[in-house]
Structure 1
């Protein structure tokens, strides 16, 4: 894609909002506590800071400030102020395609921010516990935060992912013409690697004329043992396993579609 010759700074604001959900079954209070402790350890402020620092490197930014906090009884937050680095960002491309994986990050941010907040939660009624991480990557300048999407998805074990990408404002070229977006995009899915596309079922809801793009994903394969915390499927009776499986699948569908489901398809009265 031919680069636009701009008049002054690129004033476009590009924001990626990325939400991941991890779902599990923890049958009793002790198992639920153990799950929350595991999540708090796995996604503490220190590790989240490392992930967001790598994101800054991927999108070509200078880190200006980092604030991070672990909370009691659970959860963590990290905020990084960033700024675009003109020389390095010129080497980065906005073309549709996956960005690097976690083990292939190369260094290079300025003028914006990256934040993450975690929300572990559980309820004794059905034994379901969920973990949600909300990540926002907002840049002012040429590079798009979508280049960090591939890395982010591979940094979390996610059952469900929802993503929103929006380009706001405008920038002018040397002749004074306004540009409300500076790169081609038809779908967020084009920034995902093949292994992710193969692993998830996806739905797009895009408003092209407003430069708003939305994609949500849910894992295709369901293996019960991957969702049990503190117990193995072999320890369950076939009836118990079936009941738990349906609870978990219902939880995932409700999160994926964003509404409560009164009755699972195929469930008996």
Structure 2
């Protein structure tokens, strides 16, 4: 997906930012199960696990880690930030990882950074729980965070995703002519594998003249059993199945379309 290489005047000053926002939906029957689900998902995506994911993202896009900050929150949630660089990096022994009582993760790259934050939550009067994770990958130079997109999608197996990609600023070729984007792109879907394209409904909203690309995704196949925590469809009546199906589908549609539905 890369355009023909152009000789640049100095460093590539383009900034490429990918915002990966995912949602996982679950239904619980009791307050105890709801608490258990929140604890489960909080442990499943704790700061240590998120750090591992971001380290792999860094490897995939060809960057180097300079610094990592991590934080797990009370009562739930985690954050990770990593500072990265495109070329040389200090020895691993000099890469700093901040361990604090309540870890979150921030990683710093010398021309770039990667962050992740998680947000487990639930409906106050129903059994619907929604886990959200936000990952931001911002790079300068030739590397693009889009190269890690398939890995991120596979890592979370989300029910819904919102993907935003923007190229900002400009760089110059050796004649002084400005370059506002250095790779071929008309949709974020260009960088998503066919296997994943087949799994999700996808809607694009793009502003080409501003190099802003936006894609929303919702899982095609709906199997109610996949949304239950600590029980299955065999444990409930047909009326309960219909009621819960309506609640879960409504939650998914509201997240996907970004508005409350009647």
| TM > 0.5 fold call | yes
- For 1:144 and 1:110, the matched residues in 2 are separated by 15
Aligned-pair CA distance for 1:110: 4.1
The runs of 5 or more residues in structure 1 that have no matched partner are 87-108, 263-269
2:62 aligns with one of 60, 63, 68: 60
- For 1:60 and 1:246, the matched residues in 2 are separated by 44
Aligned-pair CA distance for 1:157: 2.2
Aligned-pair CA distance for 1:123: 2.1
- Root-mean-square deviation (Å): 1.2
Are 1:43 and 2:31 counterparts? Answer: no
- For 1:166 and 1:132, the matched residues in 2 are separated by 21
> Given the two structures, how large is their TM-score scaled by the length of structure 2?
0.90
Equivalent position of 2:149 in the other structure: 149
Equivalent position of 2:29 in the other structure: 27
Aligned-pair CA distance for 1:194: 1.4
Equivalent position of 1:254 in the other structure: 254
Determine if contact 1:20/1:162 at 8 Å carries over to the other structure: yes
- Secondary structure of the residue that 2:167 maps to in structure 1? strand
Question: For residues 136-158 of structure 1, what are the alpha-carbon distances to aligned partners after superposition, in whole Å with 9 as ceiling and x for unaligned?
Answer: 00001111100010000000020
- Secondary structure of the residue that 1:124 maps to in structure 2? coil
- Secondary structure of the residue that 1:242 maps to in structure 2? helix
- Secondary structure of the residue that 1:163 maps to in structure 2? strand
Runs of 4+ in 1 over 3 A off after TM superposition: none
- Secondary structure of the residue that 1:206 maps to in structure 2? coil
1:76 aligns with one of 69, 75, 78: 78
Superposition pairs for residues 187-202 of structure 1, below 5 Å? 187-202=187-202
In the alignment of these two chains, the number of paired residues is: 241
Determine if contact 1:160/1:252 at 8 Å carries over to the other structure: yes
- For 2:157 and 2:178, the matched residues in 1 are separated by 41
- Secondary structure of the residue that 2:205 maps to in structure 1? strand
Determine if contact 1:29/1:124 at 8 Å carries over to the other structure: no
Equivalent position of 1:179 in the other structure: 179
> Given the two structures, how large is their TM-score scaled by the length of structure 1?
0.88
Equivalent position of 1:9 in the other structure: 11
Aligned-pair CA distance for 1:125: 1.0
Question: For residues 96-145 of structure 1, what are the alpha-carbon distances to aligned partners after superposition, in whole Å with 9 as ceiling and x for unaligned?
Answer: xxxxxxxxxxxxx6411000000000123121000000000000111110
Are 1:112 and 2:109 counterparts? Answer: no
Determine if contact 1:85/1:110 at 8 Å carries over to the other structure: no
- For 2:230 and 2:154, the matched residues in 1 are separated by 25
Equivalent position of 2:129 in the other structure: 129
The runs of 5 or more residues in structure 2 that have no matched partner are 89-108
Question: For residues 150-170 of structure 1, what are the alpha-carbon distances to aligned partners after superposition, in whole Å with 9 as ceiling and x for unaligned?
Answer: 000000020000000000000
Equivalent position of 1:162 in the other structure: 162
Question: For residues 183-233 of structure 1, what are the alpha-carbon distances to aligned partners after superposition, in whole Å with 9 as ceiling and x for unaligned?
Answer: 110110111111111110000000000000000100001001000112111
